[in-house]
Structures are given as C-alpha cells and as structure tokens.
C-alpha cells in the first residue's frame, strides 16, 4: 500500500477520533447543564445568585448549648435555661424558652415515676424519639399511655434517645444504661435517615472568641475543626428579653446581624449554577453527592452492613445486652416518604442494615408498616410541619399504637410482669 494512502487513512482516523472526543465532551457538558438546572430547582445549595437576608431559610439560634460532652455516650442534654430565637425573612420572627428537661434528664414530660411503676421500659433512639409536640410530649409519652390503657397497669418509659445519633450509638448507650436501670424491656427505635449514621460527640467551646457547639466523629473535647461541623448557631446575648423587644420590629440590630453572619460562615457551602471547574454530575456518579468536596473525606462516612459485623464496640454492646437477660426490641420507625409509598425502607441499604442487625442480635428488626393499616389517607399529616418530617402529634400516636402491638403481643400480657429473657 503506497505510503501516501497510509498517511491519508491515518489522518482520517485522527480526525474521526478528534470528532468523537469533541462530541463526547459536548454531550457531557449538555448533560451537566441539565443536571445543574435540576439541582437548581430541587436543592437550595445551588443558587442562581447570592441570597439576600430576606431569602435565607428559617434560622434558629440558641443562647447556650443544649448539648454537653460525654465521653462514653457522645453527649448529654443540658438543663440550663436556654432561649431560642427564630429569624425569618430578615426579621426576628419568634422567641422561645426551651422547656426544662424532665426529672430523668430527657426532653418531654415525665408522667408518673419509673421507680414504682408496674412495668418499666427504657428507650434508645434518635431525634424522632426526643422531638416534642405542642404539649411537650414525645411519641414515647404516647406509647406509655397506650401501654397503660392496654395493660391496665402503671407503665413508665425512660427516654435515653439522642438527636443526631445512629443505630450503632443507640446500642452503645443501651449497653451502658440497661444494666444500671434494669428495665423490664428495652426498646431500640431508629428512623431510616439515622440507620447509617456513625458515632458522634458534641462539645461546647469558645473558639476565637466565639461560643460554638461542634459535632465531631472522634471522642475528644478538642476536635479538629476540619473534621467537625456546626451543630447549631449560638449567641450568648440572644436572651428572651432581647428577642421579645426586637420581634417583628424592622431591620436586625448588631446581635441579629451577628447571628446571620455566623450562620453564613458555618453553614454548608452554597454554589452558583455557573460555578466553573466543578462537575456536579461527576461527583454524583463517583461519590454519590453532587456537592462532594475534598473536605468531606475528613467527616464521618455512612455505616454499611459490612461495617456492623466488623464493629468491635457494637459487638461488645450487643453481647452486654444479651448477657443482661433483659429482653430488648429493635424497631424501625418509618417516616413520611416510606409511609406514603407503603415501603418499609427508603433504600435497599436500610433493609440490608436491618437484616444484619437481626443476624447480629438474634432478634428481628420490627418494621412498623406491618402493624399500620395502609394506605393512610393524607399521610403528610404525620409530619410536624411542611418543612419538618419529625412526627406530629398524630404521627406520634400512630407510632405508639403500632409499637404497643409489638410490645404487648411479644413481651408482656395483662396478667403478669414481663419475663426476663423472653423474646
């Protein structure tokens, strides 16, 4: 074959490959643009332009930290007098005095006494179990009432739930508390968003002259700021008298402006839809998070089913609970997307974690949809508000009715107290 012909063929091949590469790049950029438009509509972290103060989401500020560091359990709740300020559309919108903790050191009311109740329970969970309604009641309060009505005996539930923790940490806390308080039954109740959460610790500190409360993934009172995140905005001057005096009263003063500034500095970063040198689509495909950054590597990653069987602390906690001879029930609390769809778990990995926990403990992970009549009319009424999927009073009562069926049919009856070791 003449050299000239060979050269022409090689040149055509190079041109063709060049066209393919250009076409591939153009196609990727087109898909990236479409993905950015989709994110712009659905995710507030992507902005068309910088927000004005009036466009910021509802901001809550505490005068003091609600959380105090605990080496073994992650944190305890503080019973100090704490004021909360809400800022909406650039104005002080609402002023709240947080209800004090009950006599057992947990949020919500304490009805009756644990010490002299006929049936004693201890509950371990996440924010779904410490979230309170307008009556300062958690779903565990409604469960206590439902069990008393069903059994005709006095019941008391100690609530050891903590907001923000995951399933593995619930077992850790249960292993500490169950041998001390010796309940007749222990409940471990987890909502789907928290099944994969790693262990956390919280610490209130003054950093560079600012009062802050950090969440970290290591048991230390001196966390690395690069591997911690802001738990909540704090401002020690946000007392109730100040809040009431400025409520719906026009532009923010110095204290209010400092709250906004602190929020903007410490919230998760926002991006412009026109941000160059970043592919949101690539990060979604590779990391599962379109807003992934290198700093995310420093933060706690989600728990996988395989991690559970290799978690020595979790295995020790399960062994401690099993040796205690006290029956415990593991419960999955389905939240709105799951109840609305009639699916127990929002993703396959949640179901896998449930199966692995069942294997490790030798106990089933009870799904509440088996005890709830579906479909539910207007399932959105189980949410606390349009923007908050923690349970409303109605949602709390739904949980309580379902768990009552599990507890009564599986662990106790109306004639005798629970039997240790019965599962």
Q: What are the E-state strand segments in 2-81?
A: 46-47, 59-62, 67-70, 74-77
Same structural domain for residues 113 and 182? Answer: yes
Same structural domain for residues 392 and 323? Answer: yes
φ/ψ region of 421 (left if φ > 0, alpha if ψ in -120 to 50, else beta) reads left
Same structural domain for residues 109 and 178? Answer: yes
Q: What pLDDT does residue 414 have?
A: 35
Position 332 in a domain: yes
Distance CA 27, CA 25 (A): 5
Number of domains observed in the structure of the chain: 2
Q: What pLDDT does residue 421 have?
A: 34
Position 384 in a domain: yes
Position 126 in a domain: yes
Q: What pLDDT does residue 22 have?
A: 75
- pLDDT digits (tens), the chain, 423 positions: 566 655 555 566 566 776 777 777 788 778 778 888 887 787 777 777 777 888 888 899 999 999 999 999 999 999 999 999 999 988 999 999 999 999 999 999 999 999 999 999 999 999 999 999 999 999 999 999 999 999 999 999 999 999 999 999 999 999 999 999 999 999 999 999 899 999 999 999 999 999 999 999 999 999 999 889 999 999 999 999 999 999 988 889 999 999 999 999 998 777 777 777 788 777 777 666 777 665 554 455 688 999 999 999 999 999 999 999 999 999 999 999 999 999 999 999 999 999 999 999 999 999 999 999 989 999 999 999 988 999 999 999 999 999 999 999 875 443 333 333 333
Same structural domain for residues 42 and 135? Answer: no
Position 417 in a domain: no
Position 402 in a domain: yes
Contact in structure between 146 and 404 (CB atoms under 8 Å): yes
Task: Extract the tokens encoding 76.
Answer: 């305890």
Q: Residue 307: count other Cβ atoms within 10 Å of its Cβ.
A: 16
Structural domain boundaries enclosing 39: 3-47
Strands 210-216 and 46-47: unpaired
Position 292 in a domain: no
Position 76 in a domain: no
Same structural domain for residues 163 and 311? Answer: yes
Distance CA 81, CA 266 (A): 25
Q: What are the E-state strand segments in 130-184?
A: 155-159
Q: What pLDDT does residue 171 have?
A: 98
Same structural domain for residues 33 and 119? Answer: no
Q: What pLDDT does residue 72 have?
A: 97
Same structural domain for residues 43 and 109? Answer: no
Position 207 in a domain: no
Same structural domain for residues 38 and 187? Answer: no
Q: What pLDDT does residue 18 have?
A: 66
Find tokens 């005095």 and name the residue.
97
User: What CATH number is associated with residue 398?
Assistant: 3.40.50.1110
Distance CA 369, CA 384 (A): 19
What are the residue ranges of helices labelled H in 152-225?
167-181
Helix (H, G, I), strand (E, B) or coil at 35: helix
Largest CA distance in the chain: 102
Same structural domain for residues 19 and 156? Answer: no
Same structural domain for residues 314 and 190? Answer: yes
Task: Extract the tokens encoding 168.
Answer: 């593995």
Same structural domain for residues 31 and 145? Answer: no
Same structural domain for residues 139 and 23? Answer: no
């Amino acid at each position: 074959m003449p050299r000239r012909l060979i050269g022409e063929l090689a040149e055509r091949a190079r041109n063709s490959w060049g066209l393919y590469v250009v076409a591939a790049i153009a196609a990727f950029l087109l898909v990236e643009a479409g993905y950015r438009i989709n994110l712009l509509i659905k995710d507030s972290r992507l902005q068309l332009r910088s927000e004005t103060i009036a466009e910021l989401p509802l901001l809550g500020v505490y005068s003091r930290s609600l959380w105090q560091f605990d080496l073994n359990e992650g944190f305890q709740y503080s019973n100090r007098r704490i004021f909360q300020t809400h800022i909406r559309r650039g104005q002080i919108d609402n002023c709240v005095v947080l209800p004090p903790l009950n006599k057992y050191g947990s949020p919500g009311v304490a009805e009756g006494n644990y010490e002299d109740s006929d049936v004693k329970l201890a509950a371990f969970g996440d924010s779904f179990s410490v979230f309170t309604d307008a009556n300062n009641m958690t779903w565990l309060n409604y469960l206590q009432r439902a069990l008393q009505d069903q059994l005709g005996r006095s019941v008391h539930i100690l609530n050891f739930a903590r907001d923000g923790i995951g399933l593995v940490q619930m077992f850790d806390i249960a292993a500490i508390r169950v041998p001390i308080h010796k309940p007749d039954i222990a409940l471990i109740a987890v909502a789907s968003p928290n099944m994969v959460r790693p262990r956390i610790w919280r610490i209130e500190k003054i950093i560079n002259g600012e009062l802050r409360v950090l969440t970290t993934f290591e048991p230390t009172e001196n966390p690395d700021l690069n591997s911690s995140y802001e738990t909540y905005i704090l401002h020690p001057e946000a007392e109730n008298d100040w809040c009431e005096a400025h409520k719906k009263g026009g532009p923010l003063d110095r204290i209010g402006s400092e709250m906004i500034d602190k929020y903007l500095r410490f919230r998760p970063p926002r991006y412009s839809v026109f941000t160059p040198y970043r592919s949101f689509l690539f990060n979604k495909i590779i990391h599962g998070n379109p807003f992934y950054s290198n700093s995310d590597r420093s933060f706690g990653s989600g728990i996988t089913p395989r991690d559970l069987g290799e978690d020595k602390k979790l295995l020790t906690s399960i062994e401690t609970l099993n040796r205690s001879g006290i029956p415990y029930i593991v419960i999955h609390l389905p939240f709105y997307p799951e109840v609305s769809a009639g699916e127990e778990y929002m993703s396959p990995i949640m179901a896998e974690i449930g199966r692995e926990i069942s294997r490790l403990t030798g106990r089933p992970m009870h799904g509440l949809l088996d005890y709830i009549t579906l479909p539910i009319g207007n399932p959105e009424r189980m949410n606390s508000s349009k923007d908050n999927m923690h349970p409303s009073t109605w949602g709390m009562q739904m949980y309580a009715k379902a768990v009552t069926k599990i507890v009564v049919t599986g662990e106790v009856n109306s004639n005798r107290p629970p039997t240790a070791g019965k599962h």
